[in-house]
Amino acid sequence: DQQVKQNSPSLSVQEGRISILNCDYTNSMFDYFLWYKKYPAEGPTFLISISSIKDKNEDGRFTVFLNKSAKHLSLHIVPSQPGDSAVYFCAASGQGAQKLVFGQGTRLTINP
């Protein structure tokens, strides 16, 4: 059951540049999307979310874009900092559903 997919298991970006993490979904009933950041041996930490009625949401260095027709969302981090190195999970939920469905995660490494 791969309703949410993050096809890049890892991404390496130079400090100060833009990091773009991608996520695709298959379930058209999903209407809320979240990005989480996770360090080893810690729980996922909420970063940013977007409702399906929007196509963009921005919070500081983080921007999430949603393309509903393509069932695709992306997280942009500008500028990337060494502390951004972590695993990033995309998650989705559908109206009335309680659970989040997670992607497999992308390990982001920011190189100095």
Residue with Cβ nearer other proteins (34 or 108): 34
Beta carbon of residue 41, minimum distance to other proteins (angstroms, whole number): 7
Contact 105, 44 (CB under 8 A): no
- Residues of the shown chain interacting with other proteins in the complex, contacts defined by CB under 8 A: 32, 34, 36, 41-46, 49, 89, 91, 93, 97-105
The β-bridge partners of 65 are 56, 74
Helical (H) or strand (E) element with 28: none
Beta carbon of residue 29, minimum distance to other proteins (angstroms, whole number): 14
Of the candidates 81, 82, 79, 74, the residue with the CA atom closest to the CA atom of residue 35: 74
Beta carbon of residue 86, minimum distance to other proteins (angstroms, whole number): 14
Q: Which pairing describes strands 45-51 and 101-102: parallel, antiparallel, or unpaired?
A: unpaired
Residue with Cβ nearer other proteins (20 or 97): 97
